[in-house]
Amino acid sequence: MSDRENKVMVGALMLLAGGILGAGIALLYAPQSGDKTRKEIGRYAKKARRKGEEALEAVEDFTEQVTDMAEAVGDRASEILEKGKDMAYGAKKGLLKAIEEGEARLVKERSRLAKMIG
């Protein structure tokens, strides 16, 4: 994982942990029996854990999709670069051929003019 992905993951986990702690403290100060409060804390912790696992799976899926997309873009860029090289090579060959034909025609015309002038 990259540094940025790690920071996002740590941020998400810290937010989740803060929510759990805040809820736990709120339940401790609620006006009900300790036994009932402990049961609610336990239920809330299980629920929060499930949601955290789901969020982690979503982050991993998203990361995988972004990675796949980046690889696809990189592959496509390589293909385009190769096609560009081929096109440039073809254009270079065509240009050199045109220059050679122009030089040959120039020599021919120079020779013809030289015969006309004398």
Domain map of the chain by residue range?
A: 3-117
CB proximity list for 27: less than 8 A, separation 6 or greater: 37, 40, 41, 44
Residues 41, 18: Cα–Cα separation, whole Å: 14
Q: What's the whole-model pTM score?
A: 0.43
Residues 3, 17: Cα–Cα separation, whole Å: 21
Cα–Cα distances in angstroms (integers) from residue 52 to residues 11, 49, 57, 82, in the given order: 12, 5, 9, 45
Between CA 53 and CA 58, with CA 54 as vertex, the angle to 5 degrees is 115
Residues 69, 75: Cα–Cα separation, whole Å: 10
pLDDT score recorded for residue 20: 82
Q: What is the mean pLDDT of residues 40-57?
A: 86
When pLDDT is cut at 50, 70 and 90, the band that residue 17 belongs to is: confident
Structure tokens at 9: 């993951």
When pLDDT is cut at 50, 70 and 90, the band that residue 1 belongs to is: low
Mean pLDDT (the chain, rounded): 84
In contact, 59 and 8? CB cutoff 8 Å: yes
Q: What is the mean pLDDT of residues 13-31?
A: 79
pLDDT higher at 42 or 5 = 42
